[in-house]
Amino acid sequence: REVLNGDAVVVWIERAAAVIVENEKYLTELDAAIGDSDHGANMARGFSAVRGKLAGQPREDVGAILKTVGMTLLSTVGGASGPLYGTLFLEAAKIAAGKAELDRTAIQQSLAAGLAGIQKRGKAEPLDKTMVDALGPAIQAFEGAAGVTLAEALARAAEAARQGAEATIPLVARKGRASYLGERSAGHQDPGATSMWLLVRSLAEAAAE
Ligand code: ADP
Ligand code: MG
Ligand code: MG
């Protein structure tokens, strides 16, 4: 497919929910090293709630679906990541408002608006060791993937997000709880960058279906 309609977006979110729940323990272990051991539980709680909400959601307005996701994450995830993931989806929802499907331009704009929202709210710059370090490179890879299918462009975005998350390992955290550790935060992969990678990978899988 070269566009994402409401059904594809719901497939994305359902896949994301499944992979987040599967990786709850892993995400919590990452947060145990440099945070407070709750990132897996926070994300699993949020995406499980989202899964419930989407069951009865009409599919004709992609913006409305993304808004439901954002509102639900905002009210159920908590911590630092809840408002940030909530903002990602709410900003994307504004771009997608009233649209039955997102073409490549709208997908790119939605992701960029989501990243801008995260950075406006959390004030993180690239290499601060946060979720921004996965989403930023993903968007760059997506924008740079000309002349390939949508699924391939998103697969490249997912690979860039994976590499971005891995590249947080040597970084010293400058935002969030991990920043309290200073230099001791180096040597560990950022949990939020890791969950962001899983989210982008789920999007690529939904586009390939
Ligand atoms: P908390 O730190 O409140 O327990 P979580 O454990 O759920 O929240 O989420 C932690 C993740 O949130 C971090 O790994 C990081 O990726 C992300 N994060 C924290 N603060 C910021 C920020 N200011 N900007 C972007 N991302 C952030
Ligand atoms: Mg935490
Ligand atoms: Mg916490």
Domain boundaries, the chain: 4-208
Cβ–ligand 1 distance for 45 under 6 Å, the answer no
pLDDT at 6: 98
Quote the ligand 3 centre to 181 CA distance (angstroms). Answer: 15
Quote the ligand 3 centre to 158 CA distance (angstroms). Answer: 26
Residue nearest to ligand 1 atom 7, measured at CA = 39
Residue 1's pLDDT band, with cuts at 50, 70 and 90, is confident
Domain range 4-208, its CATH number among 1.25.40.340, 3.90.105.10, 1.20.1530.20, 1.10.10.1100: 1.25.40.340
Q: How do residues 96-118 score in pLDDT, each as one tens digit?
A: 999 999 999 999 999 999 999 99
Span 64-93, average pLDDT? 97
Whole-angstrom distance, CA of residue 139 vs CA of residue 135: 6
Q: How do residues 29-38 score in pLDDT, each as one tens digit?
A: 999 999 999 9
HSE at residue 54, side-chain half, CA atoms within 13 A, is: 29
Quote the ligand 3 centre to 53 CA distance (angstroms). Answer: 24
pLDDT at 182: 97
Span 135-158, average pLDDT? 97
- Which of helix, strand or coil describes residue 167? coil
> Does residue 17 surpass a pLDDT of 90?
yes
Residue 155's pLDDT band, with cuts at 50, 70 and 90, is very high
Span 146-156, average pLDDT? 97
Query: What are the structure tokens assigned to 134, written together?
Result: 């996965």
Whole-angstrom distance, CA of residue 55 vs CA of residue 112: 27
